[in-house]
């Protein structure tokens, strides 16, 4: 994983700004025509996907992120004293495998080195026993110093270093636990943060209050540009600016720490502890994601919970379920697990590929999904206290944070399946529709987890220098909900019409849509066009035609589509990157919805999928096409390379599977 690229036309990137007519055209007739090639590819993909289904009915692909997950897992185990040699050795092997030739680690395949990721990777390897004079360690330390040293890393990295005395707590932003008492109408209350940030911030207020230091097993002077003066002077921004105002708020919070009433602080810590424990899931994790789990375990340990306490024991055991062992000697930590998402997408792909609607695999998947519906209130009910639950979460266990995106896609999957208990399916979909309607934000669109989670204040905190900490509505999520509402015959519902109007207003000047949870404009466009057409927009609508024109312009010379994550920070990368199976699937899904089945662009895309598929039905895809936080945290969903190409192939061959289900009587 040493490849890098220099820009939209740089080495290693097959995408260019050429129009498709200026590119060599693949001739589908070479393999018996596009239809024959699509049939063979779809058949192999169906067989492969069916073989991967769990006996319980679900699918789950690996969820690959970057080595900070592995590094922080080791640092947690060192802090708690629960590490073991096999874990350290296997994690170190994985971390080394992701290092670039220049010594750095990146946050996605082929991406540039990232300073914080590199510091954490280096520290983890040193913790595992790698000698600082080893060539790979020397290269890493040199790269870190050349890019500003530890002092330039993000706050979360320096928190981990402070836990071992490698950084001073006094030089970190202050985060008092009393924030838990702010009412929901006050700016910067915990419900102004997105659910993932909220779950992380509450335990970190406890850590910040204690400022613990575990004796460090070694020093890190080699990662500082000037070990004698590791902290560069940062001048205050003008008071009239937001940055200046929040810098002064942070200074005031540091002063408050010295005078905070002890009884109030003790009460805040106690209530923070209760808040954390109440949100622990039945399997021991927190929200089904790894970062809140590690900080919650540290916080509870500081609050006096013994490692043998049931809460702690369950939490530690849950972390082991986030590990993947590619072989007996290598260990990778997943930031999250995606069985509900993977299962509904796999069911849609198989149904659209022509699998009988009552096929045992689909019925088994429906049974499992029906059992995963969340029917109790979670944190979303703070903003919607009267709303009846009915959503689905992303993970195995996450009753506190179902999301509108999974809920929409599960409903779309269930609608494609002929279940032996149709009344049960109708009840589940009815609850899902009502819950999603109730989660619509004031602007007519949907965020993933919360309603109107749009305050700009959390992003300005000095503490929040990494990734998104709010959950505003996005085009991709809104499109999936609109598609679900259309499938339920609600095209003319006022909720749907407001959402359609919002989507039309969000279209970029070039014809694409921004993708919040997938990379990037290809994902947004691949989500929105099918939704708009399902909601009743004619394929001749100007918005649809602009999207088609854009997709044709950004098609790669090889016939596929790809987009690099750098499009999140430089729109010049929009629709530009190495062709991938998942992104080609998104583009084809959009073009097919727009009525372009007979177009040259579609035939070339189908030919690319057919020609790049492995004999076992799989597609290789090292590139990251999923998004946690745009640019800052990227995801390679290992099942995306199967479900989206198969969905596109199926719709090319048979049309939309949902339309077929409706015609034949759902």
Question: Which of 290, 321, 92, 214 has the alpha carbon at shortest distance from 84?
Answer: 92
Rounded to an integer, what distance in angstroms lies between the CA atom of residue 131 and that of residue 127? 9
For residue 176, the tally of other CB atoms under 10 A from its CB is 18
Per the model's pLDDT, the better-predicted residue between 109 and 252 turns out to be: 109
Query: What's the burial of 168, exposed, middle or buried (CB within 10 Å: 0-12/13-18/19+)?
Result: middle
Q: For residue 59, is it left (φ>0), alpha (ψ between -120 and 50) or beta?
A: beta
Contact 449, 401 (CB under 8 A): yes
Angle at Cα 390 formed by Cα 337 and Cα 590, nearest 5°? Answer: 65
Please tell me the chain's helix, strand, coil percentages from 3-state DSSP, rounded to the nearest 5: 50, 5, 45
Paired tokens of 462: 């000095």
Rounded to an integer, what distance in angstroms lies between the CA atom of residue 447 and that of residue 205? 26
Domain with CATH 1.50.10.20 in the chain: 27-61+338-454+472-664, 64-225+250-333
Rounded to an integer, what distance in angstroms lies between the CA atom of residue 635 and that of residue 109? 10
Determine the number of helices (DSSP H) and then strands (DSSP E) in the chain: 23, 5
Which one from 399, 405, 632, 656 is the annotated catalytic residue?
405
Catalytic residue flag (residue 405): yes
Q: Are strands 63-64 and 633-637 parallel, antiparallel or unpaired?
A: antiparallel
Q: Are strands 330-333 and 626-629 parallel, antiparallel or unpaired?
A: unpaired
Q: What is the mean pLDDT of the chain?
A: 91
pLDDT tens per residue across span 349-381: 999 999 999 999 999 999 999 999 999 999 999
pLDDT tens per residue across span 503-557: 999 999 999 999 999 999 999 999 999 999 999 999 999 999 999 999 999 999 9
Rounded to an integer, what distance in angstroms lies between the CA atom of residue 206 and that of residue 175? 9
Distance of CA 453 to the CA centre of its chain: 18
pLDDT tens per residue across span 561-575: 999 999 999 999 999
Contacts 24+ apart (CB under 8 A), 219-225: 219/166, 220/123, 220/126, 220/150, 220/161, 220/166, 222/132, 222/141, 222/145, 223/119, 223/122, 223/141, 223/144, 223/145, 223/149, 223/150, 224/145, 224/149, 224/150, 224/151, 225/145, 225/148, 225/149, 225/151
Which three-class secondary structure state does DSSP give residue 323?
strand
Rounded to an integer, what distance in angstroms lies between the CA atom of residue 491 and that of residue 512? 23
**This prediction's pTM:** 0.91
DSSP structure class, residue 31? G
pLDDT of 14 reads 34
pLDDT tens per residue across span 317-355: 999 999 999 999 999 999 999 999 999 999 999 999 999
- Mean pLDDT of all residues in 390-410: 96
Most confident of 31-35, 307-311, 659-663: 307-311
**pLDDT surpasses 60 at 13:** no
Rounded to an integer, what distance in angstroms lies between the CA atom of residue 634 and that of residue 622? 12
pLDDT of 279 reads 94
Which overall architecture, per CATH, does domain 27-61+338-454+472-664 show?
Alpha/alpha barrel (1.50)
pLDDT of 512 reads 98
- Mean pLDDT of all residues in 40-62: 97
Question: Which of 335, 190, 196, 176 has the alpha carbon at shortest distance from 269?
Answer: 176
pLDDT of 21 reads 31
pLDDT tens per residue across span 208-235: 999 999 999 999 999 998 777 666 666 7
Tell the CATH topology of 64-225+250-333: Glycosyltransferase (1.50.10)
pLDDT of 242 reads 72
pLDDT tens per residue across span 416-441: 999 999 999 999 999 999 999 999 99
User: Could you give the percent of the chain with pLDDT greater than 90?
Assistant: 84
Which three-class secondary structure state does DSSP give residue 84?
coil
pLDDT of 26 reads 41
**pLDDT surpasses 70 at 67:** yes
- Mean pLDDT of all residues in 593-602: 96
pLDDT tens per residue across span 437-493: 999 999 999 999 999 999 988 887 877 777 789 999 999 999 999 999 999 999 999
């Amino acid at each position: 994983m040493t490849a890098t690229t220099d820009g939209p036309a740089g080495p290693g990137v097959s995408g260019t700004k050429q129009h498709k007519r200026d590119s060599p055209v693949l001739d589908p007739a070479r393999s018996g025509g596009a239809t024959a090639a699509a049939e063979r590819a779809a058949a192999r993909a169906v067989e492969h996907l069916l073989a991967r289904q769990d006996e319980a009915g679900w699918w789950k692909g690996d969820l690959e992120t970057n080595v900070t997950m592995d590094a922080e897992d080791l640092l947690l185990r060192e802090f708690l004293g629960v590490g073991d040699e096999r874990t350290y050795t296997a994690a170190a092997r994985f971390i080394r495998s992701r290092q670039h030739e220049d010594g750095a680690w990146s946050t996605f395949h082929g991406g540039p080195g990232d300073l914080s990721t590199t510091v954490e990777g280096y520290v983890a390897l040193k913790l595992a026993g790698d000698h600082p004079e080893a060539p790979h360690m020397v290269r890493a330390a040199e790269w870190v110093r050349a890019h500003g040293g530890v002092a330039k890393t993000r706050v979360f990295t320096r928190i981990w270093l402070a836990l071992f005395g490698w950084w001073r707590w006094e030089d970190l932003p202050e985060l008092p636990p009393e924030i838990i008492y702010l009412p929901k109408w006050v700016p910067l209350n915990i419900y102004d943060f997105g659910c993932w940030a909220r779950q992380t911030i509450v335990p970190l207020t406890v850590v910040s209050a204690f400022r613990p230091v575990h004796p460090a097993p070694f020093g890190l002077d080699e990662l500082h540009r000037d070990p004698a003066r590791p902290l560069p002077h940062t001048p205050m921004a003008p008071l009239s600016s937001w940055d200046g105002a929040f810098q002064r708020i942070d200074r005031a919070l540091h002063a408050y720490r010295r005078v905070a009433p002890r009884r109030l602080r003790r009460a805040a810590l106690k209530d923070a502890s209760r808040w954390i424990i109440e949100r622990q899931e039945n399997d021991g994790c927190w929200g089904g994601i790894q970062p809140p789990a590690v900080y919650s375990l540290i916080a509870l340990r500081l609050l006096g919970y013994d490692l043998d306490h049931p809460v702690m024991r369950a939490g530690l055991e849950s972390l082991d379920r986030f590990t993947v062992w590619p072989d007996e000697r290598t260990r990778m930590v997943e930031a999250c697990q995606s069985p509900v998402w993977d299962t509904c997408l796999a069911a849609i792909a198989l149904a659209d590929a022509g699998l009988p609607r009552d096929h045992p695999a689909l019925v088994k998947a429906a049974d499992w999904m029906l059992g995963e519906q969340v029917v109790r209130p979670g944190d979303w009910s703070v903003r919607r206290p009267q709303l009846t639950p009915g959503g689905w979460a992303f993970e195995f266990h996450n009753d506190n944070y179902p999301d509108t995106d999974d809920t929409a896609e599960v409903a779309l999957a269930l609608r494609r399946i002929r279940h032996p208990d149709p009344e049960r399916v109708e009840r589940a979909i009815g609850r899902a529709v009502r819950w999603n309607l109730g989660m619509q934000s004031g602007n007519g669109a949907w965020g993933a987890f919360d309603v109107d989670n749009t305050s700009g204040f959390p992003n300005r905190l000095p503490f929040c220098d990494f990734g998104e900490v709010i959950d505003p509505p996005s085009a991709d999520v809104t499109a999936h909900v609109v598609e679900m509402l259309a499938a339920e015959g609600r095209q003319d519902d006022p909720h749907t019409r407001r959402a359609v109007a919002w989507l039309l207003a969000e279209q970029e000047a070039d014809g694409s849509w921004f993708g919040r949870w997938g990379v990037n404009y290809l994902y947004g466009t691949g989500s929105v066009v099918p939704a708009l057409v399902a909601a009743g927009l004619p394929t001749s609508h100007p918005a649809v035609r602009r999207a088609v024109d854009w997709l044709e312009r950004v098609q790669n010379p090889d016939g596929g589509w790809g987009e690099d994550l750098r499009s999140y920070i430089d729109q010049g990368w929009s629709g530009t990157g190495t062709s991938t199976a998942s992104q080609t699937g998104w583009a084809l899904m959009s073009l097919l919805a727009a009525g372009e089945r007979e177009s040259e662009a579609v035939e070339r895309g189908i030919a690319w999928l057919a020609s790049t598929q492995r004999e076992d039905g799989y597609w290789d895809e090292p590139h990251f096409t999923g998004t946690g936080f745009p640019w800052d945290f990227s995801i390679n969903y290992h099942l995306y390379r199967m479900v989206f190409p198969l969905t596109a192939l199926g719709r090319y061959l048979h049309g939309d599977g949902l339309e077929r289900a409706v015609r034949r009587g759902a």
